[in-house]
Structure 1
Amino acid sequence: MMRSFYQYLLYHPSFFAKQLQFLVCLCLYFTTYIHSLLLIVMKKPQFIVAAPTSNAGKTSLTLGLLRACKNRGIDIQPFKSGPDYIDPMFHQLACHKTGINLDLFMMEQAHLQANYTHCMQVPEVACIEGVMGLFDGSIKAEGSTAALAKLLDIPVILVVDAQAVAYSVAPLLYGFKNFDPDLNLAGVVFNRVNSESHYQFLIDACHDVGVVPLGRLPFLSNCEIPSRHLGLSIDQLPQYNGAIDELAKAVEQHVPIDPLLDLCMRAIEPLQTTPPPPLVSTMKIAVARDEAFNFCYQQNIDAFRQLGKIVFFSPLHDSALPTADLIYLPGGYPECYLHELAANDAMQQSIKEYVEASGHIFAECGGMMYLGKSIIDEAGKTFKMMGVFDFSTSMLPKKLKMGYRRIYVNGTELKGHEFHYSTIVNDENITTIGRVGNARNQKVDSQLYKYKNVLASYIHFYLGEANQLQHLLDAI
């Protein structure tokens, strides 16, 4: 009987080929099906580090966790809630991966979720550093850290500065746990707690209000990390490496990392977006990037890359502009490099010639200051700058101006934010375009300055959304 079957196969090879083809297809089907199931239920630890107030220890815990996970060989991806540029630089220092901004005012929800999902396809852990207090938003809790946690459906790790409190922390924890029932408060880490006896009072408070205690960080006098240090430049960052090492040691010693990660396990959806079409544009974009100019969202760089080829240059160190169809001068710390910028006459001349030849330039904050006639430092000394615009900027009086901005140009709304201590002097006769409002759409005195094909403003724009960059370029 068996011999007859083999003889049949021998003289009817097409039958064998069809059966083999069927089996291969069946295996491929089940492999694809199982792979799809794995993608659907793929889970990774994801959490937001938040606090009741600013300066409670969010950055300290975040950097300690980032460095501790890196030391363990865990691929952790940092993010930053809000428009901040400085914290992502510290993220890069802590785990060698730049923090990605997630901002619910400047980014549409679907766009933000797509960015987050894209960034989390490979990393093992997501750590988002919150902004200000947990529920502080542009209007009430809109755009707050809590709103971001709910949108992404990930838990919150609350950091509480308990240096001067013991069991009285209970009503505070109760309020944050119950104020918004849709928010998942996974647990709390207490900052500036040096002894186990002090920590025990805090544990008792947690147990009585139903919040999971997730450890403590002692007060480390040599580990102060600047939260908004407008004198900090890129070349100064490495000096904080030792402090981050100490924070990582404290986290390893006093925070149960493995239970924390297990507590924050959440599903990650597979990436649904299709890859972008091949680049066909021959446009060249030159982006300033050095110690003085370095405030730029990664999503903005990605948007520029969709338009053409990017080359980076340094207004500090280079003597001439690279050949380009568009120059982007982002913000940064020009006020910390006034001697060097003023002394680089060759670069200033190169940019002036580019401007007068109708070259296109887009400048934000520090980049705008560089294009002015001069910058006056905190001592009152004046340094010559580009002179493209006939105004100066001054660090006197040093007054903080910050907030979200709605920008209306050519019938289109763009979004951004301001954060600067300098002021503009003598801009009354400068051409301006558009209208600028705050988060509540109330008019503010911020301006978009225009000269030939140059557009400049104190505002940092978010250009990662579809067509936002093109709308801005149309205004230039």
Structure 2
Amino acid sequence: MQINQEAKQVKFNIPRIVIAGIQSGCGKTTITRGLMAALKRRGLVVQPFKIGPDFIDPSHHTRICGRVSRNLDVVMSGEEGVIESFFSACPGADIAVIEGVMGMYDGLDSTYGSTAHIAKILKSPLLLVIPVHGMANSVHAIASGFKNYEPDSTLAGVILNKVGSPRHADLLRAGAEIPQFGFVPKDTSFHTMSRHLGLIMGEEKTTDEPVTLIEESCEISEIIRVASSAPPINVDLHKESSLSCKVTIGVAKDPAFCFYYQHNLEMLERSGAKFVYFSPMQDHKPDVDAIYLGGGYPELHAEMLETGPARDEIRSACDDGLPVFGECGGLLYLTEGLSGERSYRWTGVLPGSTEMAQRFQALGYCEGRTLGGTSLTPEGVEIKGHEFHYSTVTPSRDARYSMSLARGKGISDGQDGMYVHETVGCYTHCWFSGQFSDAIVRAAENWRKR
């Protein structure tokens, strides 16, 4: 690693590989996880990443690799943010494995933010997963089409999935011009259960990863060789926060609240926060200067949240002015409760009620600005994030909002960040900027100094 002090850049390198797919559902997640496990079995320290705003795949990566998986999302963080997130996660690792999103070239309105785009930002070789059931020579047309769609593609080869037999593999090899690094047979034993927001979380998975399958069907040594061919990249050194605060933030962490971007936690730490993790399902509210309630599955644990000791304690603290920031699932918990065949009472801090729907109610990126109203949301702070939920919040007529979205639905028609006192709840899973994390930490410090 070389540092150019004048330019404040780091020239950085690590073996790295991106696993892309021709489309969603082609098997890239299974192959990525099997590859991570195979590399770890070889004694390598593997740093995992996930392209896009997803929370669930990273939880599986983290469980397999023993290192926290990070999101790489150019829409929320910009290109420099992608490089910085990659750089900050890699110290101590031997190789980085990056799982793509959707199809290789599927991005925001174009190829922007796609797997191919991120691979180019990181100068990373890319392997394309192609499901080949019922296919022979046509696989070469698909591979060539993906390789040549953009002239600067970093596609280094393909992994063929759902191969029917050794004879089928021989047919797929014949006439190949793009390197083939694996012939993975069809195997349904590694299917992971899913629910309304996607696969179950990594902490809930009990079956093994397909490590032996991948070792026996993929050229692991050749994949490592290709990963090692990645050239150095330049990284701008991040600017440290100017804050000198030292505050403690309670972070809800349990099966009901499990969606957090590692980036957000690191930004809060950079602004001066340390964390106390607790479970609103069963713990008392910790003695902290602020609370961060992430997204997750509060609807699946509604009764425990209703009867947990933290419910009334959080309500009382919010009434007293404790800064509390809730995202998606955290927003729901801060409302009056969940309605349905059976109703559950939650904290009741925010004036609204929650219901679950049969299909998703919002999905996509969010952009906007804060409107003021609380010290957590001083006016004019840029908001970038993502929303994906099956719930609806019906606010009371006097509800007030601290965020306005130019892109995204929020709670109601682009209004998000419902607030009471110093409590804010939003559907947007925010990607914290330095301004945003500084505002949260300043709010916590004001509480501590009361």
TM-score range relative to shorter protein: 0.7 to 0.9
Q: Distance in 2 between matches of 1:42 and 1:235?
A: 30
Q: Distance in 2 between matches of 1:49 and 1:175?
A: 17
Tell me the residue number matched to 1:97: 67
CA contact 1:231–1:336 (8 Å) conserved in 2:
no
Tell me the residue number matched to 1:26: none
Say which of 399, 406, 427 aligns to 1:437: 406
Unmatched 5+ stretches in structure 1: 1-31, 34-39
CA contact 1:405–1:418 (8 Å) conserved in 2:
yes
CA contact 1:406–1:414 (8 Å) conserved in 2:
yes
* 2:422 is aligned with 1:456: no
CA contact 2:248–2:290 (8 Å) conserved in 1:
yes
* 2:102 is aligned with 1:138: no
Q: Deviations over 1:160-184 (max 9, x none)?
A: 1112322222222221010001111
Distance 1:434 1:118, change over 3 A: closer
- For 1:434, the aligned partner's letter is M
* Cα displacement (A) at 1:105: 0.5
Tell me the residue number matched to 2:448: none
- SS of residue in 2 equivalent to 1:434: strand
* Cα displacement (A) at 1:422: 1.1
Say which of 12, 15, 18 aligns to 1:45: 15
* 2:434 is aligned with 1:469: no
Q: Deviations over 1:60-83 (max 9, x none)?
A: 011000111111111111100011
Tell me the residue number matched to 1:390: 351
Q: Deviations over 1:9-66 (max 9, x none)?
A: xxxxxxxxxxxxxxxxxxxxxxx99xxxxxx997543111001110111110110001
- For 2:16, the aligned partner's letter is Q
Say which of 237, 240, 252 aligns to 2:215: 252
Tell me the residue number matched to 2:337: 374
* 2:284 is aligned with 1:315: no
Q: Distance in 1 between matches of 2:196 and 2:232?
A: 35
Q: Distance in 2 between matches of 1:141 and 1:228?
A: 28
Q: Distance in 1 between matches of 2:53 and 2:407?
A: 15
Distance 1:188 1:231, change over 3 A: closer
Q: Deviations over 1:292-335 (max 9, x none)?
A: 1111011111112222221111101113x112221111111111
CA contact 1:139–1:439 (8 Å) conserved in 2:
no
Q: Deviations over 1:333-386 (max 9, x none)?
A: 111111111112x31111111011111111000000001111135xx3211111
- SS of residue in 2 equivalent to 1:267: coil
* 2:294 is aligned with 1:330: yes
* Cα displacement (A) at 1:233: 5.7
Tell me the residue number matched to 1:358: 321
* Cα displacement (A) at 1:121: 3.2
Tell me the residue number matched to 2:24: 54
Unmatched 5+ stretches in structure 2: 4-9, 371-378, 445-450
Q: Distance in 2 between matches of 1:360 and 1:469?
A: 13
Tell me the residue number matched to 2:152: 182
- For 1:457, the aligned partner's letter is C
- For 1:420, the aligned partner's letter is H
- For 1:308, the aligned partner's letter is A
Q: TM-score, normalised by structure 2?
A: 0.87
Q: Distance in 1 between matches of 2:122 and 2:203?
A: 34
Distance 1:418 1:41, change over 3 A: closer
Distance 1:104 1:231, change over 3 A: closer
- For 1:349, the aligned partner's letter is D
Say which of 163, 181, 187 aligns to 1:214: 181
Tell me the residue number matched to 2:369: 408
- For 1:299, the aligned partner's letter is H
Distance 1:134 1:439, change over 3 A: farther
Q: Distance in 2 between matches of 1:43 and 1:283?
A: 35
Q: Distance in 2 between matches of 1:367 and 1:417?
A: 15
Tell me the residue number matched to 1:5: none
* Cα displacement (A) at 1:191: 1.0
Q: Distance in 2 between matches of 1:227 and 1:141?
A: 28
CA contact 2:381–2:435 (8 Å) conserved in 1:
no
Tell me the residue number matched to 1:6: none
> How do 1:206-285 residues align onto structure 2 when only pairs under 5 Å count?
207=176, 210-226=177-193, 230=197, 237-240=204-207, 242=208, 244=209, 247-264=210-227, 265-269=229-233, 273=237, 280-285=244-249
Q: Distance in 2 between matches of 1:227 and 1:103?
A: 23
Distance 1:376 1:190, change over 3 A: farther
Q: Distance in 1 between matches of 2:142 and 2:101?
A: 19
Deviates more, 1:363-372 or 1:304-313: 304-313
* Cα displacement (A) at 1:276: 5.1
- SS of residue in 2 equivalent to 1:284: strand
- SS of residue in 2 equivalent to 1:197: helix
Distance 1:475 1:118, change over 3 A: closer
Q: Distance in 1 between matches of 2:200 and 2:407?
A: 28
Distance 1:276 1:437, change over 3 A: closer
CA contact 2:408–2:414 (8 Å) conserved in 1:
no
Q: TM-score, normalised by structure 1?
A: 0.83
* Cα displacement (A) at 1:450: 1.2
- For 2:222, the aligned partner's letter is P
Tell me the residue number matched to 1:340: 304
Distance 1:469 1:42, change over 3 A: closer
* Cα displacement (A) at 1:153: 0.9
CA contact 1:163–1:192 (8 Å) conserved in 2:
yes
Q: Distance in 2 between matches of 1:324 and 1:162?
A: 54
CA contact 1:355–1:454 (8 Å) conserved in 2:
yes
Tell me the residue number matched to 2:124: 154
Larger of the two Rg values belongs to structure: 1
Distance 1:363 1:397, change over 3 A: same
Q: Deviations over 1:384-414 (max 9, x none)?
A: 1111122111113433421000021122321
Equivalent pairs, count? 427
- SS of residue in 2 equivalent to 1:286: strand
* Cα displacement (A) at 1:458: 0.8
- For 2:405, the aligned partner's letter is V
Q: Distance in 2 between matches of 1:388 and 1:176?
A: 51
Using the aligned pairs only, state the percent identity.
31
* Cα displacement (A) at 1:269: 4.9
- SS of residue in 2 equivalent to 1:79: strand
- SS of residue in 1 equivalent to 2:225: helix
Deviates more, 1:428-437 or 1:410-419: 428-437
- For 1:255, the aligned partner's letter is C
- SS of residue in 1 equivalent to 2:164: coil
CA contact 1:405–1:437 (8 Å) conserved in 2:
yes
